[in-house]
A and B are shown apart, each in its own frame.
Chain A
Amino acid sequence: MSSNSGYVPGLEGVVASQTAISMVDGQNGRLVYQGYVIADLAEEMSFEEVAFLLWEGRLPNRAELDALSLELANHRTLTQAANIALDALPADTDPMDVLRSVVSVQGVEHRLAKPTVPLAIHATASIPTILAMFHRRQLGLAPVKPRADLGHAANYLYMMDARESSPEIVRALNTYLVLLADHGMNASTFTARVIASTESDLTSALVGAIGALKGPAHGGAPSAVIEQLELIGAADDAETWMRDARRRKEKFMGFGHRVYRVYDPRAKILKEMCRRMNPKFYALGVRVEEIALRILHEEHPERPQSTNVEFYSAGVLQAIGLPKEYFTPTFAAARVSGWSAHVLEQAAHNRIIRPQSEYIGPEPRKPVPLGDRS
């Protein structure tokens, strides 16, 4: 695992933080938020309740939930600066780049502010607005004003489509947001904590996290799941296509995870939702999943190979009606609650995160003046 120097590639297995926000129990396939197992929260709780749980460490009572919902509803509007910056971006910009830039401008300050729960609420409230406004601009449609009477998930869809979605669709998005709200020390959350550890502000931590989530090895893969399924085409062709793909050294999208050794509990819930909501995706997806796991097992029988959260997320988000370019940004809309909870936790028990590096360059030597260099 580690070299002589003690270098641990990818910091695998290195404990970088203590946290009470979430725990990924990879051995037993459990994801725990503040003591609650995800399966007990996913279909019972609103995203707002889970965000409160992550920020405050307990579930809200009715009055607290109402207060949070009101605070969120009151901060769905973008600042003038954010509106102008959003409009200055070309309409074909990657929505993750839009999010990174507009979250940055929405959070600008005259002076450095310490991370607080109200700031976490405001950032969480503004993300659906940014995404919906940009989506509508891409389509050449006028922006839709947020609706204070709608919950977080319902309002996001309303601002995207200018109409209310069915309760089933809203519920599905809500469950997705709950499932993706936090997940231990993943790369984007860790980025947020590294940034917070320098005593920087919440917006800075979130902007960094968005940049990390964008990477295909982290949050950037759910749209690739759809793209791969489109290439495979039909269940009957799946095995041939997939064996050919492996010969070309292509990766199967939506499989493998560093932490889970058994089926990801979120994938399990999303798979069932997919079965109900997106039969077409499900029919092909189950077949592809079965073949992918079989081929991966043949290649590496020693490795635990499991379907990750992105595979069936893609089917659920597609059924919800979100364009695939908005899959990763919607992941960010969920995870912002976890990122900000981790920033608050880091700030409360801070120590700068500054690991070491091992120098592998040449021994010291003298520079040659410019005129004498060959």
Chain B
Amino acid sequence: MAEFSPGLEGVVAAETAVSEVDGANGRLIYRGGYLIEDLVPVVSYEEVAYLLWHGELPNEKELDALRQQMTAARTLNKSARGALTAMDPATDPMDTLRTVVSAQGAARTLTKPTLDEAITLTAVFPTIVGAAWRRRQGKDVVEPRQDLGHAANLLWMMNGEEPVAEKAHWVDTYLVLLADHGLNASTFAARVVASTGSDLTSCVVGAIAALKGPAHGGATLAARNMLDKIGSADNAEKWLTDAHARHERFSGFGHRVYRTYDPRAKILREMAQTAAPELHKTAARTEEVALRILHEAHPDRPNATNVDFWASVVLTGAGMPKELFTTLFATSRVAGWTAHVLESLSDLRLIRPASRWIGPEPGKKPLQLAKR
């Protein structure tokens, strides 16, 4: 029997052209061979989604067609509305997202995942996130706007007012940066579900379920919570030293893959200066102290700031409530999840690993109930 690799670390579970995390060199490559830092200045989220699905950037005509298809798919169907309004407004927004996506995709018969479905599923996420936020605040749900791009419409549906261009741009950049990232746990979950021949909604619901975990998508919120506790740049040294003495983990640091600075974190750190100048000061000092403490404690380990840390600052600057952070991650990553599922269809094979038995020796005889 093969070796047991806890967490499947180092095990290659898929071949993919959707994205590549080159941890040794601190590079994130999106489909087509584009480095993330080259894409960010020139593309919108819709273009990146197109790229992940098709393998090429769209021309103007193709982008217009995609935008039209997405704006037309922003409405919730009756099942999804029913599920949404049935839930307590205080429900965890990730649970709302998981449930409403499931209901929106409930179908009469099983169908193979298609690109059209990927587009319509991606298009509807901001509607669900916006509605969850409005309900949480006891406000009426806002209908989507046809004339706004993906990021701007998300802000519109949350706030009921058109966002200033700058905020929409920050959100759009965040969505571009998080759209895919190799075989992370949620993407892997989506691929495992797809491998059984299941439908796209089931894959995406499984991915949302995995992203919800604090060890995965929940890390952005944890980073922001830590920054809230630290409060100010002046307090960073004391707070982090105390936390380290209590063996608390620093949220927003460390990653299994990157051995150098995460290229996404670098872009977000830069943006954070304009997006959230005050929080940026606290965060920059926190980062400096945290990396120093971690390096002193483990000089052998590469300890870099991860994307969650600086994403929490930029999202805050864009006016995003921290309760929605994980759902925003999902709103971005759904493009990657669906691209991976579509890619896997060309050579579909059931993902069914083995397990190692560590239980009692087989063959013990059960006692009758009365004798136990």
Contacting residues of chain A (344-374) with chain B, CB-CB under 8 angstroms:
351-371, 373-374
Cα-based distance from A121 to B51 in the complex (angstroms): 44
One digit per residue, 1 when the CB lies within 8 angstroms of any chain A CB and 0 when it does not, for chain B 14-27 equals 11111110000001
One digit per residue, 1 when the CB lies within 8 angstroms of any chain B CB and 0 when it does not, for chain A 1-41 equals 01101111111111111111101010000101011110011
Contact A111 B92 (CB under 8 A): yes
The interface residues of chain A lying within 8 Å CB-to-CB of B245 are none
The interface residues of chain A lying within 8 Å CB-to-CB of B185 are 194-195, 197-198, 352-354
In this assembly, does B364 line the interface, its C-beta being within 8 Å of a C-beta of chain A?
yes
Q: Which residue of B lies closest to A93 (CB)?
A: B106
In this assembly, does A303 line the interface, its C-beta being within 8 Å of a C-beta of chain B?
no
One digit per residue, 1 when the CB lies within 8 angstroms of any chain B CB and 0 when it does not, for chain A 203-217 equals 111011011111111
Q: Could you list which residues of chain A lie within 8 angstroms of chain B, going by C-beta atoms?
A: 2-3, 5-21, 23, 25, 30, 32, 34-37, 40-41, 44-45, 49, 57, 59-62, 65, 80-85, 87-90, 92-94, 97-98, 100-101, 104-105, 107-112, 184-188, 190-191, 194-201, 203-205, 207-208, 210-220, 258-259, 351-371, 373-374
Contact A5 B15 (CB under 8 A): yes
B78 interface neighbour in A88, A190, A198, Cβ under 8 Å: A88
Nearest CB in chain A: distance from B162 CB, A: 23
Contact A94 B355 (CB under 8 A): no
Contact A367 B57 (CB under 8 A): yes
Tell me which of B31-39, B150-158, B290-298 binds A: B31-39
Contact B193 A35 (CB under 8 A): no
Nearest CB in chain A: distance from B216 CB, A: 4
Contact A212 B202 (CB under 8 A): yes
Contact B33 A364 (CB under 8 A): yes
Contacting residues of chain B (346-372) with chain A, CB-CB under 8 angstroms:
347-367, 369-370, 372
Nearest CB in chain B: distance from A199 CB, A: 4
Nearest CB in chain B: distance from A224 CB, A: 11
Nearest CB in chain A: distance from B312 CB, A: 17
The interface residues of chain B lying within 8 Å CB-to-CB of A65 are 369
A-B pairs with lowest CB-CB distance, top 6: A88-B82, A215-B196, A198-B213, A211-B202, A20-B359, A35-B360
Contact A358 B355 (CB under 8 A): no
Nearest CB in chain A: distance from B248 CB, A: 16
Tell me which of B95-103, B120-128, B273-281 binds A: B95-103
The interface residues of chain A lying within 8 Å CB-to-CB of B357 are 18-20, 23, 32
Q: Which residue of A lies closest to B83 (CB)?
A: A85
6 A-B residue pairs with Cβ-Cβ distance under 8 Å, sorted by A, are: A23-B359, A35-B364, A108-B91, A196-B213, A353-B185, A359-B16
The interface residues of chain B lying within 8 Å CB-to-CB of A2 are 12
Other A-B pairs, 4, CB within 8 Å; known A59-B372, A186-B352, A198-B218: A16-B353, A90-B108, A196-B213, A358-B12
The interface residues of chain B lying within 8 Å CB-to-CB of A367 are 32, 34, 38-39, 42-43, 57
Contact A19 B358 (CB under 8 A): yes
Cα-based distance from A357 to B12 in the complex (angstroms): 5
A195 interface neighbour in B42, B59, B209, B356, Cβ under 8 Å: B209
Contact A12 B352 (CB under 8 A): yes
In this assembly, does B109 line the interface, its C-beta being within 8 Å of a C-beta of chain A?
yes
Q: Which residue of B lies closest to A105 (CB)?
A: B99
Given the known interface contacts A7-B14, A15-B3, A62-B372, the answer about A105 and B83 at a Cβ–Cβ threshold of 8 Å is yes
Identify the interface centre among A81, A186, A361, A365: most chain B CB within 10 Å of its CB: A361
Cα-based distance from A16 to B8 in the complex (angstroms): 6
Cα-based distance from A25 to B359 in the complex (angstroms): 13
Nearest CB in chain A: distance from B207 CB, A: 8
One digit per residue, 1 when the CB lies within 8 angstroms of any chain A CB and 0 when it does not, for chain B 251-271 equals 000001000000000000000
The interface residues of chain A lying within 8 Å CB-to-CB of B354 are 11-16, 184-185
Given the known interface contacts A355-B183, A370-B42, A370-B47, the answer about A15 and B210 at a Cβ–Cβ threshold of 8 Å is no
Q: How many residues of B sit at the interface, in one of the four size bands?
A: 35 or more
The interface residues of chain A lying within 8 Å CB-to-CB of B209 are 195, 200, 204-205, 207-208
Contact B108 A92 (CB under 8 A): yes
Given the known interface contacts A87-B82, A197-B7, A367-B57, the answer about A108 and B353 at a Cβ–Cβ threshold of 8 Å is no
Nearest CB in chain B: distance from A179 CB, A: 15
Nearest CB in chain B: distance from A183 CB, A: 10
Cα-based distance from A334 to B186 in the complex (angstroms): 25
Contact B210 A198 (CB under 8 A): yes
The interface residues of chain B lying within 8 Å CB-to-CB of A61 are 369, 372
One digit per residue, 1 when the CB lies within 8 angstroms of any chain A CB and 0 when it does not, for chain B 114-143 equals 000000000000000000000000000000
The interface residues of chain A lying within 8 Å CB-to-CB of B92 are 108-112
Nearest CB in chain B: distance from A219 CB, A: 8
In this assembly, does B165 line the interface, its C-beta being within 8 Å of a C-beta of chain A?
no
In this assembly, does B206 line the interface, its C-beta being within 8 Å of a C-beta of chain A?
yes
Nearest CB in chain A: distance from B369 CB, A: 6
Contact B206 A212 (CB under 8 A): yes
Given the known interface contacts A94-B110, A212-B192, the answer about A11 and B353 at a Cβ–Cβ threshold of 8 Å is yes
In this assembly, does B9 line the interface, its C-beta being within 8 Å of a C-beta of chain A?
yes
Contact B214 A185 (CB under 8 A): no
The interface residues of chain B lying within 8 Å CB-to-CB of A199 are 213-216, 218
Nearest CB in chain B: distance from A29 CB, A: 12
Q: Which residue of B lies closest to A57 (CB)?
A: B359
Cα-based distance from A162 to B356 in the complex (angstroms): 44
Cα-based distance from A107 to B201 in the complex (angstroms): 18
Q: Which residue of B lies closest to A352 (CB)?
A: B215
Identify the interface centre among A62, A65, A186, A359: most chain B CB within 10 Å of its CB: A359
Contact A16 B355 (CB under 8 A): yes
Nearest CB in chain B: distance from A49 CB, A: 7
Nearest CB in chain B: distance from A13 CB, A: 5
Contact B95 A187 (CB under 8 A): no
Identify the interface centre among B3, B60, B362: most chain A CB within 10 Å of its CB: B362
Q: Which residue of B lies closest to A368 (CB)?
A: B57
Cα-based distance from A200 to B97 in the complex (angstroms): 14
Cα-based distance from A218 to B199 in the complex (angstroms): 13
A371 interface neighbour in B60, B88, B359, B366, Cβ under 8 Å: B60
Cα-based distance from A11 to B353 in the complex (angstroms): 5
The interface residues of chain B lying within 8 Å CB-to-CB of A259 are 352
Contact A60 B349 (CB under 8 A): no
Contact B353 A356 (CB under 8 A): no
Cα-based distance from A15 to B354 in the complex (angstroms): 5
B359 interface neighbour in A3, A21, A107, A109, Cβ under 8 Å: A21
Q: Which residue of A lies closest to B182 (CB)?
A: A357
One digit per residue, 1 when the CB lies within 8 angstroms of any chain A CB and 0 when it does not, for chain B 180-224 equals 001111101100111111110111011011111111111000000
